[in-house]
Amino acid sequence: MHFQTPAPDMDLLVLLNQTLRAPLLDCIMPVVSSKITLFSILALCLIWAVRRRGPRQIVLFLVLLAGMGLSDLGVNAVKKSVARVRPLNSVAGTFHHEDGRWLRLAPDFVQVKEKGTSYPSAHAANTMALAVLAMLLWPGTRPFALAAPLVVGWSRLYLGKHFPTDVLAGWMLGLVAALAVWLVWSRLLRPRLLPEQEP
């Protein structure tokens, strides 16, 4: 199906991808958007949590992964039905990062690709699910954990991978996935697995 991009969506993409650029951001954004970065940080946090609070923290990290996994499944289901083409394959002048270098579509670029995987953003969904569950499981992370989905969402626009509405939809899907996992965890699993334990 053809996904007609609303004018405000396109304007915000052009602003964040083509206008508000800086050499420092060119270096930072690919790192921010990397799954290696995300899982390295999670691994370090897990090691720290286990050393400070004990091995039961592993269970809580598994809850985080469950939330991210559920959000990822939801994203993939929507992607297949919407098939929106990414900006780097559809919008003239889009900057995008491929194979370690920055490229830019020509000003006279004409879209030829008909199907894609832009909507919604899996990065946005998964980091929102992670942030919401982190704030519920470890209240001390509030509201700082929300920085993760916000910055990652920005990076997806900066890298030309997504439109703003892709990121917004990803955030919403990640929120729903996180709350679903939290309900199952808090009402069914936690009383059995971690009795009389604070989240």
What residues form DSSP beta bridges with 95? 104
CA distance 34 to 6: 28
What is the rounded CA–CA span in Å between residue 78 and residue 47? Answer: 34
Q: What are the structural domain ranges in the chain?
A: 23-192
Full pLDDT tens readout for the chain, 199 residues: 556 789 999 999 999 999 999 999 999 999 999 999 999 999 999 999 999 999 999 999 999 999 999 999 999 999 989 999 999 999 999 999 998 999 999 999 999 998 999 999 999 999 999 999 999 999 999 999 999 999 999 999 999 999 999 999 999 999 999 999 999 999 988 888 777 654 4
End-to-end CA separation in angstroms for the chain: 44
126: left (phi over 0), alpha (psi -120 to 50) or beta: alpha
